[in-house]
Structure formats: structure tokens, C-alpha cells
Amino acid sequence: MPTLGNPTGTIEVLKKYNFNFQKRFGQNFLIDSNILEKIVSAAEVTKEDCVLEIGPGIGTMTQYLAESAREVIAVEIDKSLIPILEDTLSPYDNVTVINEDILKVDIRKLVEEKNQGRPIKVVANLPYYITTPIIMGLFESHVPLKSITIMIQKEVADRMQVGPGTKDYGALSLAVQYYAKPEVVAYVSPECFIPKPNVGSAVIRLDRYEKPPVQVENEEFMFKIIRAAFNQRRKTLANGLGNASDLPITRAQATEALEELGFGASVRGEALTLEEFAKLSNYLLTIL
């Protein structure tokens, strides 16, 4: 059994199966064992844990996870990788491979079956083109989750942890920080992958809050306000909210609310903290 997580073992498996990389699946396989160890250690995987891995590829990280976890569920969309995974994971009896699109999997049901509904840990080297939908899907569906430790594009990782007043701050920063505490664990160079991606990568750990750090009457309504605030960044917040087609708010109502809360009518969305968005959302609900 070739050891994966290094160039030689990875190339051997790819040649054996004559594997062709699929651009549409955003496939970049890790070939650096130090980074793999860092991810598993940052995720604090123990023999108590049931781990969900998204996009196992040829099973590189899956092997590391299987050594550390009680159980691993690996969800892989690419049919041509399934025979490879059967081969590379054959020594492990604690891994279940599911050939499915993660966005269509009923993760809650899986957690019920495999972990009696107790919180799982998600560990993944994510395809960069669908990072945000995957993470938001996990949070918004309220799957029982302890933490998410993932390799993603550096720029996206930076966006997840910044605060107000910076150019990277936006709807994603606020959404992630509402559900979890983000911490970048490592930055990773393109050299650590086959094929090399065109961008730098980062490993980020998101620790799920048991209860969100702010009190909000209506989660969905607050996120509509946040999206409207950043859809037209250059506009004032009052204009952004007044122009949003999915919000029943006039510009006058938005201005009234902002002034009432002491922000001033010309404030922009990027100036508000998560707590301030929660206050604004709660106040607007009282005047609508």
C-alpha cells in the first residue's frame, strides 16, 4: 500500500489508475505530510470522534483521519475516484465512502446513523469553487457540529476572520463569525499540491458556538440585511437596504432606524459589527 501524502506515493496511485484531474471538481491533492499532520492535529481528532471528510480525493487525508478517529465518513463526488479509494483505504475498517455531491447529502441523517446525533467534526481539503456554499450549508442546516477544520483559498480564510472597516470584511465574515470562532492555523504554498493551484491556501478552524454571540429575533431577516448591506458596498447602508428587492424596507425607514441607533444616515455596511447588525435587524422588525 503506497503511503500517500508525498509526491512519490501520490504519483504511483495516479499512474496505476490512469487518473485524470477534473477541473470542474477543483481537484488539488495534498503531497505534504507535515501539512496533513498539522490539519489532523488542529482538528484535535481523537478515538472518540466521528469525522466527516468532504472531497477525500485519492484518500490521502482519509488515511491520516482513519488512524486518529473512531469513524470517518468520506463524501466524494467524482465516480472515477471510488475504485482508488477502495484500494487506498482497504486497510481501514472505520471508513465509509459515499459517492455523492455533499450539497445533496442529508448530513443530519448521517450523523444520526453514524454518531447517534452527537456533534461531529468536519475535516476537509475543500474544492475552492464551492467553499462558501459548503460551509454555509453546514452552518445553516444546524447539523450537530463541533468544529470545521478545512484547507481553503487563503483569501477566503482571511475574509472569514476580519472585522469591520477592512476591505475583506463582508457578508461571509459576518456569517462565519455568527456561527463559529475562526482561527487560521497555517498558510500553505501551492508547492504542497498536485496539480499546483494558482492561489495560496490556508488551513482554518471554525469552532462552532453552542449559542451565537449575539441575540437576534430573526436570523434569516438579519442575513438579508447583511447581504443587502454588502451587495452595493459603495452605497450608504440606507440606500442598500432601501434598494433590496427581498426586504420590505424603504430608504426612509432604514434612515430612521440608523439614526435612532446612533449610526447616522450616511454610514456604510462595512462599518457595522455583527452586534450592531443584530441591533439594527431587531429594531427594523419593530417598525415594519
- What's the confidence (pLDDT) of residue 2? 61
Give the domain CATH number at 44.
3.40.50.150
Give the domain CATH number at 249.
1.10.8.100
Q: Quick: pLDDT tens for 186-220.
A: 999 999 999 898 899 999 999 999 999 999 999 99
* Domain end point (choices 208, 237, 265): 208
Instruction: Please check whether residues 150 and 183 belong to one and the same domain.
Output: yes
Instruction: Please check whether residues 188 and 237 belong to one and the same domain.
Output: no
* 65 within domain boundaries: yes
As given in the structure block, the three cell numbers for residue 115 are 454518531
DSSP state of 166: S
CA dist., res. 103 & res. 243, Å (int): 31
Q: Quick: pLDDT tens for 74-96.
A: 999 999 999 999 999 999 999 99
- What's the confidence (pLDDT) of residue 113? 94
CB 88 within 8 A of CB 13: yes
* Domain end point (choices 208, 234, 263): 208
CB neighbours of residue 232 within 10 Å? 15
* Domain end point (choices 152, 174, 208): 208
Q: Quick: pLDDT tens for 119-146.
A: 999 999 988 888 999 999 999 888 999 9
* 246 within domain boundaries: yes
Question: C-alpha angle 234/238/240, rounded to 5°?
Answer: 50
Instruction: For the full predicted model, state whether its pTM sits above 0.85.
Output: yes
| pLDDT band at 106; cut points 50, 70, 90 | very high
State yes or no: pLDDT of 28 exceeds 80: yes
- What length is written for the chain? 288
What is the 3-state secondary structure of 203-270? EEEEEECCCCCCCCCCHHHHHHHHHHHHHCCCCCHHHHHHHCCCCCCCHHHHHHHHHHCCCCCCCCHH
What total of structural domains would you count in the chain? 2
| pLDDT band at 234; cut points 50, 70, 90 | confident
State yes or no: pLDDT of 1 exceeds 70: no
Domain that holds residue 271: 219-287
Provide the 3-class DSSP secondary structure of residue 202. Answer: strand
DSSP state of 222: H
